[in-house]
Amino acid sequence: MEVILKEDVGTLGSRGDVVKVAEGYGRNFLLPRKLAIEATTGNKAVIAQMKAASVRRSAKEKTQAEELAKQFEGLAVSFQRRSGEHDQLFGSVTSGDIADALTKKGFNIDRRKIQVHEPLKTVGEFAVPVKLHKEVTAHLKVVIEKEAARE
């Protein structure tokens, strides 16, 4: 039986692929879970149109991401935090904090695109990657300074 995958299926292939599967696997697993549709000539034409639209949309998103990456050049975000001995922060700077600072500067970036693997917990300068598109990654300069001592 030939089916067209509607979603990525780990062992078979990715979305839009036409694959041959066993009759039972297709009828009892893939089709009821809406992971695939039968590979008729009409469905193949629809999938071809969807793939073409997806390629155009992806190209447009990539150019927008590249323009945004150029705007990120030379941009720095700074934070003032209380810190103790050895420049360790009381708390941390997370991707959410960086996203909020970028929003204040006029950039609407989702915090999940800011790739801080572990929260920043020391004073200093950091280059944080921001994944704007699957092929475009910009680096943002994050500066963490000591907060002036209160009296």
| Pair 119, 139 in one domain | yes
Of 46-55, 56-65, 107-116, least confident by mean pLDDT is: 46-55
| Pair 75, 141 in one domain | yes
Residue 129: what pLDDT? 93
Q: Give one DSSP letter per residue of the chain, joined into a string.
A: -EEEESS-BTTTB-TT-EEE--HHHIIIIITTTTSEEE--HHHHHHHHHHHHHHHHHHHHHHHHHHHHHHHHTT-EEEEEE-B-GGGEEEEEE-HHHHHHHHHHTT----GGGB--SS-EEESEEEEEEEEEETTEEEEEEEEEEEPPPP-
Q: Which domain holds residue 36?
A: 2-60
Is it the case that residue 109 has pLDDT exceeding 80? yes
What does the block give as tokens for 147? Answer: 């907060």
Is it the case that residue 151 has pLDDT exceeding 60? no
**Percentage of the chain modeled with pLDDT above 90:** 40
> Looking at residue 43, which CATH number applies to its domain?
3.40.5.10
| Pair 132, 100 in one domain | yes
**Average pLDDT of every residue of the chain:** 88
Residue 104 binned pLDDT confidence (cut-offs 50, 70, 90): very high
> Looking at residue 89, which CATH number applies to its domain?
3.10.430.100
What does the block give as tokens for 102? Answer: 């970028």
Is it the case that residue 143 has pLDDT exceeding 90? yes
Is it the case that residue 25 has pLDDT exceeding 70? yes
Is it the case that residue 11 has pLDDT exceeding 80? yes
Mark which of 16, 37, 60 sits at the end of a domain.
60
Residue 97 binned pLDDT confidence (cut-offs 50, 70, 90): very high
Residue 87: what pLDDT? 85
